Structure 1
Amino acid sequence: MEVDLPFLLLIFVINVAYISLNTIRFMLTMKSYRLAASLVSMVEVTIYVVGLGLVLDSLDNYINLAVYALGYGFGIALGIKIEEFLALGYIMVTAIVPDIETKMPEDLRDLGYGVTTSLAFGREGDRMVLEILTPRKTERKLYKQISQIEPKSFIISYEPKYINGGFWTRKLKKRRKEIEAEEQR
């Protein structure tokens, strides 16, 4: 059995590209980016057909199939990394803090976040609940800021499906741009 390294590399690269695009297309579909998902899927299926054709034409060589599978695994990992880098969409963060007199809402508002507060009662007494909507790109930064202000915060996050109106659409975008401009100076 002959090993053709350039051919194996081609199979690997094709499958990494195909699966990375597949992962990204799936994420775009889940976030309702219809046009982008459709365009990515056209490239994806073309790469898939070419790659699968190469492997099926040489099924007598099990190394080709192994490299195809290896490319699949690397493609998943790369697709996830690309999706994390793109960080499409928004998250809703709920922070529950034990101090109902906390200045956290004002501090977070000063940092450009839209914050809605309410009082709640937990097992150990009164709590303040903060609801914060933020782009996924700033998710980790927000977690750090919350933890720095109140280390005992209980934090939960989820992705909202629909957003309309409120502080977010009017002022937050403007304020976030101002803060980002200040940070770049």
Structure 2
Amino acid sequence: MKEIALILLLQLIYVPIFTLRTIFLVKGMSVTASFLGFMEALVYVFGLSLVFGGDKSDIALVVYAVGFGIGIFIGGLIERKLAIGYTTFIVNLMNNNQELIAFLRNEGFGVTVYEGQGRDSKRYRLEILTKRSREEELLNHIEGYEPKAFIISYEPRKFRGGFLIKDMKKRMKNRK
């Protein structure tokens, strides 16, 4: 029975490490991903040796699979908590809401405003880059000012230049 519990525990360690390793690799953080890959391989080999060693019970195989599924869920929770990287939001508005724009800029969000022509009238588009850890905060602010805004988000892979990164670092120091 201890062996079965250990198999489950190892899966609950292995799969979140696997998830985080993949995310760090995609984000270009190769050194961190390599270290996590090393840890992942150790846990993986040890866990498999338990499953395929000894009496090779069907329960061990099922527990291994259940642990894998739960581990994916845990890995997702950890990733959302870490919120590594940035998100760009495209916010389409019917009106040029200067109050919202000023508020967002004052809160440290980089906002670029574009004016365009919609089907029936002018539209205003805000392009906002933010840390993933501030996504919900940003969405709540937009919802408070513009509940009918059309919002699209995506995760930029690379960017450089602009005031935002330097300004974000300065603001984070001031908040501490």
2:6 equivalent among 5, 10, 21: 10
* 1:120-166 per-position Cα deviation (integer Å, ceiling 9, x unaligned): 12223111101111000001110111110111111111011111111
Identity of aligned residues (%): 38
Unmatched tracts of structure 2, length 5 or more = none
Shift in Å, 1:34 = 0.7
Amino acid of the structure 2 residue aligned with 1:47: V
Task: Identify the residue that residue 127 of structure 2 maps to in structure 1.
Answer: 131
* 1:69-120 per-position Cα deviation (integer Å, ceiling 9, x unaligned): 0100011001111111110000011111111254221111011111111101
Q: What is the SS of the residue equivalent to 2:158? A: coil
Q: What is the SS of the residue equivalent to 1:166? A: coil
Shift in Å, 1:172 = 3.4
2:113 equivalent among 87, 112, 117: 117
Equivalent residue runs for 1:50-65 within 5 Å: 50-58=46-54, 60-65=56-61
Amino acid of the structure 1 residue aligned with 2:85: G
Rounded Cα–Cα distance in structure 2 between residues aligned with 1:137 and 1:40:
22
Structure 1 stretches (4+) deviating beyond 6 angstroms? none
Shift in Å, 1:59 = 5.8
Alpha carbons of structure 1 residues 102 and 124: separation in structure 2 relative to 1, 3 Å: farther
TM-score by length of 1: 0.90
The number of residue pairs the alignment matches comes to 176
1:78 maps to 2:74: yes
Shift in Å, 1:6 = 1.2
2:19 equivalent among 20, 23, 26: 23
1:24–1:79 CA contact under 8 A, matched in 2: yes
Amino acid of the structure 1 residue aligned with 2:105: R
Rounded Cα–Cα distance in structure 2 between residues aligned with 1:61 and 1:170:
57
Alpha carbons of structure 1 residues 101 and 64: separation in structure 2 relative to 1, 3 Å: closer
Task: Identify the residue that residue 163 of structure 1 maps to in structure 2.
Answer: 159
1:100–1:126 CA contact under 8 A, matched in 2: no
TM-score by length of 2: 0.94
Rounded Cα–Cα distance in structure 1 between residues aligned with 2:95 and 2:38:
53
Q: What is the SS of the residue equivalent to 1:103? A: helix
2:148 equivalent among 152, 169, 172: 152
Rounded Cα–Cα distance in structure 2 between residues aligned with 1:176 and 1:160:
21
Rounded Cα–Cα distance in structure 2 between residues aligned with 1:118 and 1:46:
52
